[in-house]
Amino acid sequence: MAFTDFLETKLLAHTFSNTAYTSPNPVYVALYTVAPADGSAGTEVTGGGYARQSCAFTTSGNLATNTAAVEFPTASAAYGTVVAVSVCDAATGGNQLAYAALTANKTIGVGDVFRIPAGDLDITLD
């Protein structure tokens, strides 16, 4: 996952300018039908019972990974084709912290559940 400009700025200021930054707790995973990128928020899924889901991470070395499965509610209407995910600092609104395209797009129709197994959402810092 790539860090957003928002998080990059916060971490740089915290580390090199002694500007306090309090990490959000919890963080939330969001789904997108148009991928976010630097300078673009993307298009987040809406409707059909969709809601961002909280997620906990464990960190070892330069890797943070989700400690438990992240499961979204059963879709009561089609979400469309999910192409990306992001980690955000709020259940609604807020700021994107990191984002990534899926390795395989997933079309979510009525009755489907989008699930990210434990250990499959990785954020690395190189």
Using one digit for the tens of pLDDT, what is the confidence trace for 76-116? 999 999 999 999 999 999 999 999 999 999 999 999 999 99
Q: What are phi and psi of 12, to 5 degrees?
A: -65, -45
Token output for 119: 């250990």
- Number of independent structural domains in the chain: 1
Structural domain harbouring 97? 2-124
Determine the pLDDT at residue 125: 86
Using one digit for the tens of pLDDT, what is the confidence trace for 34-53? 999 988 899 999 999 999 99
Q: What is the pTM of this model?
A: 0.93
76: helix, coil or strand? Answer: coil
**Residue keyed to tokens 């987040």:** 44
Q: Give 34's contacts (C-beta < 8 A, 6+ positions apart).
A: 42, 43, 83, 84
Using one digit for the tens of pLDDT, what is the confidence trace for 12-39? 999 999 999 999 999 999 999 999 998 8
DSSP 88-121: ESSSSSS-EEEEEEEEEEEEE-TT---EE-TT--
